[in-house]
Structure 1
Amino acid sequence: MKQVLCSLLVCLLTTGSVMRASAQRGTDTILTTKGAVTLITSGSPISTFQIGDGKNTEYDYRIVDGNMVFLRPTVAAPRPTNLIVREGESIHYMIIAYQDKADLTRLKYALSGKNGTSGVAVVAHDDSQAPRAGSGQRDLISISNLPESPNLLNIDTVTVSKIAEDFGSDRKVNHQHEEKIDGVSVGYAQAMTLSGMNYFCYRIKNKSKEPFKIVKASLLHKERKDTASLYSMPILYKKGPTTIAAHEEASEVFVVPSKQFKKEDEVIIVLQTTEGKQPLVLYLPASVLPKYMVTK
């Protein structure tokens, strides 16, 4: 009888150890680092994305199209905290941690998409996905797109191309508003409004040993008064090369429908490059735009 009890006790202890080990392995860590963003994708729409107690200000996240999260630290050394994500019928529990020098290839994750509650929710993401964005402290993020203008099909591309070419010839860059990843930087040069369209000029400098290819470019507008939403600005015309050779630089001009900004707003450019590499993302305060483009 004692042998049976001992065997049962050993079995229970072993099972408990295995379960604890499984639980420990099941809690995945989402890494963040200075000067880069972490991408999290899901197979189903995300209805809840809560960091800590929901009032955490050490991390900023943005969601666009409901299934891609753009996460970054907002302070020098944020403290680890937990993260709860609900996508579709699945609930995922993870830990957000900060590393001063993190491998950029580890900043891309995909949720498993399995039903139920899971901590084993993160796997390396190898797909070439366009980065998304959204923001705020709310659990449910509403995503809005600017309405298509009837004039989008009637722009004079010849005239716009010439204007964009001349506008992009200015090589000056505001280095206070410049972002660099892996030897490639994007910096704000200038902006203007003309004939019902906004022109944004950015300077791309490729100091790496490989060509930098722009797979997709997105311009986004974040309103301070509505921190839960980002608004896409449809690109009517783009002037500039899609590939910048190693040790070369080029201007990229994006033409979007005209709109007014408030000085607390942000204009965000996201340049997606080749698979496996971090996108270039620049947050531009609207306060640096020409005064006539900004209202109080």
Structure 2
Amino acid sequence: MKIALVGPGIIEIPPKGWGAVESLIWDYATELGELGHEGSIINTPDRGQILRDLRKEDYDFIHVHYDVFYDIMDYIHTACPNAKLAISSHYPYIDQPDRHPLDGYDKIYKWLINNDKYYNFCISHKDYETYKRDNAPLDKLLVCPNGAQHRDYNFQEKPDKPEWTLYLGKIEPRKRQHLYQGIYGIEFVGHYTNTTDFNPKLADYLGEWTHEHKLQHVTDYGNMMLLSDGENGTPLVIKEALISGLGVVVSKYAAHDLDKSLPFVTVIPDDKWNDIEYVQTELRKNREISVTMRKEIRQYGIDNFSWQKLVKTYVENIEGMK
């Protein structure tokens, strides 16, 4: 199949640093090629250019990975009448309607739940259930969870920093790094935005890693934490941590796709987010368990979140579209 993957056009694909959506688009294209399909990336904010690029090829399937482009779906259909079409939203607060007006998302969400022409590829079961709750047409909803490319990630059975936790992600209010900067034993990595009280001058902030550096060095740590207040499924960074052999300490919003009964998965309750002593204790306990289970953690990550498996399901979903 010839498949077009439409990105936001905000940063390059593949990204050199941060950019989870851009990373997954690149991984989709790469893994589709491994399966004998042709995955082409169109990555521009110019709606007219998107349409011009799409007209150049006879695509079997077009997947728009930026919900802001919902307003050109009809134009895409007109330009490529023979292609199957789908759109995905990567907005982290889909299940929190009180956030929609604050982020200007209410108009987009209304379109997503009223749309009965094009498929909505939900990137998590949580998002699927939210759309279903709000009476979106079920025959247009498909779950296509995101994964991580396990072949690219370095794995060490014995980490270089077994007593340290990695907090990897864009420094922003949603990811709440500023609350935990005082805990000894955490190192923070990610694109800095001056939107919180996080202090980038402290020694525990290592700056922004390149993509290649991330592939090699996530595995250095004892575990990873992410206590965000909203996600549209278990985020890519947590799947990357598991594939690299790290246990995880997360909020419930980052744990949707995880088996919470596993000893290397720790979910911090909402009412304990601000209890620094409690969080510090749970981080230590999780590290102590996780460093003894590195092979098991990696295998769990591969079995559940490897693109190798998920893209096969993705192709099956496309082939089953009417």
TM-score, normalised to structure 2's length?
0.28
Structure (1/2) with the larger helix percentage:
2
TM-score, normalised to structure 1's length?
0.29
Structure (1/2) with the larger strand percentage:
1
The structure that has the greater radius of gyration is 1
